[in-house]
Amino acid sequence: MSQRETPAANQIKAAIIALQFLSAIPVGQQSAPTEKEIGASLSWYPLVGLLLGIILCSASLLLSFVFPTLLSAALILTLWVVLTGALHLDGFADSADAWMGGLGSKERTLRLLKDPTSGPIAIAATVLLMLLKLLTIELIINQDIWLLIWPLVFARISASLLFVTTPYARKSGLGSAIAEHKQDHQVWLGSIILMLASCYFLGWAVIIPLLFVSCLSFYYLRSRMMKRLKGCTGDTAGAMIEILECITLLVLVACQ
């Protein structure tokens, strides 16, 4: 392969890595990614969200012809979890347990984040989150099915910007490769382009409150991470994705 083709090939591999990390969509066998490739994949996170959103909206259109709205919403939520491999939901549950059980201690919180078991706090928080998602999805299906794209996009923009703006709290792990080799300018550029696209499709009456609430939520969640952990982890990034998805759904319903 020529030197001129290398950047394009690298970006294609970065996109595939991002799809592997953020979804359960089979993309074929790939060689083990290098840390540099893992870092480069960060800029593709929002576009993975866009792809997942398009899949969910397409499925919702088909289901709406067969099932009543509530059942369609339940099936869409099920597909949502399946497509993401429950990865972010696991991070949300772990973070809920760790934040309450960590008692303000960084070391204890990090230890609980690695604990594979889920306590009552994690279960309660996850059930409440899923109920909120189910009800908001049902309302959005009745309003405009294609709005379902944007919660997945905005949540993954928030996760990519979290890694760009926040130190990694652990000395090793997948997030350390992202923190070491992330391409900040590409992440910012991709995020800005998608936000501008959302302005066109959603309109100012929706995008202004959506950006305001999203930025406020991002700032608050990031500040909690910095205060407790002096950084972020893969689990807390997953928790941010789940929370921002839910908040975006709520704002979209409120603005219709």
pLDDT digits (tens, 9 = 90+) for 182-228: 888 899 999 999 999 999 999 999 999 999 999 999 999 999 999 99
- Domain membership of residue 155 (yes or no) is yes
Q: Does the pTM of the predicted model rise above 0.75?
A: yes
37 assigned to some structural domain? no
Number of domains in the chain: 1
Q: Note whether residue 160 is domain-resident.
A: yes
The answer to whether residue 36 is domain-embedded is: no
The answer to whether position 76 is within a domain reads yes
Cβ burial of 113 (10 Å; 0-12, 13-18, 19+) is buried
Domain membership of residue 203 (yes or no) is: yes
| Domain assignment of residue 176, yes or no | yes
Range of the domain at 105: 3-27+42-254
Specify if 35 maps to a domain: no
Cα end-to-end distance, the chain, whole Å: 51
Residues paired with residue 168 on neighbouring β-strands, in sequence order? 232
Q: What is the pLDDT of residues 113-154, one digit of tens each?
A: 988 888 899 999 999 999 999 999 999 999 999 999 999 999
Which among 139, 64, 193, 250 has a CA at the least distance from the CA of 201? 193
